[in-house]
A and B are shown apart, each in its own frame.
Chain A
């Protein structure tokens, strides 16, 4: 499985955009990038995923570099409720292996 590297922690001012980077230099051609977040003492919450094109949904945007070796999760207007640990995971499509292996993630603190 492709390994991911994320900064251990980040701060962001409330109302500003939070940009969370993830390096996945060993990603293979059929592997997707998934982002989840975990608020303290809860189960992880799915945010977004993508293969090579940029993606946007109601929660966030995902920017994947052209060489696919890194990506950035963007929370456009961070709120206090976005304080959580954010995990970047790379994995294949459903029929190529389903297991998710979590790294250490980025602990995002949104500051009032």
Chain B
């Protein structure tokens, strides 16, 4: 099946620093990628839709200046958590939809666990 690679898998940073997470579709092209956040014992919450070559679409309540998204190619989207604080500690997961199929199947990365000290 389609493979989505997410890097890094885990990151620990100091409060106030910025963290970049990469999401790559390895064997397919994706004009649309998605970013989710998951807190312990909760479900995935959609943060934003990343569109190749255009601005991302953010869900209500998600700060676009806090969570910067760049989707510069058909295989790469990045999420930057700017000026991270302890409350941003969470499990961040990306997904990508295969452009080459009409099926609306999203393939997910393995996730990035962010811990802000």
Contacts and interface: CB of A to CB of B under 8 A. Distances in A.
Interface in B21-51: 32, 34, 36, 43-46, 49
Interface string A91-102: 111110011111
A17 to B, nearest CB: 24
A109 B95 CA distance: 26
For the side of the interface on B, what is the size category? 20 to 34
B106 A100 contact: yes
A100 B34 contact: yes
B28 to A, nearest CB: 13
A34 B105 contact: yes
A34 B107 CA distance: 12
Interface stretch (B11-19, B67-75, B82-90, B96-104): B96-104
7 contacts: A43-B6, A43-B108, A46-B106, A49-B105, A93-B104, A102-B36, A103-B43
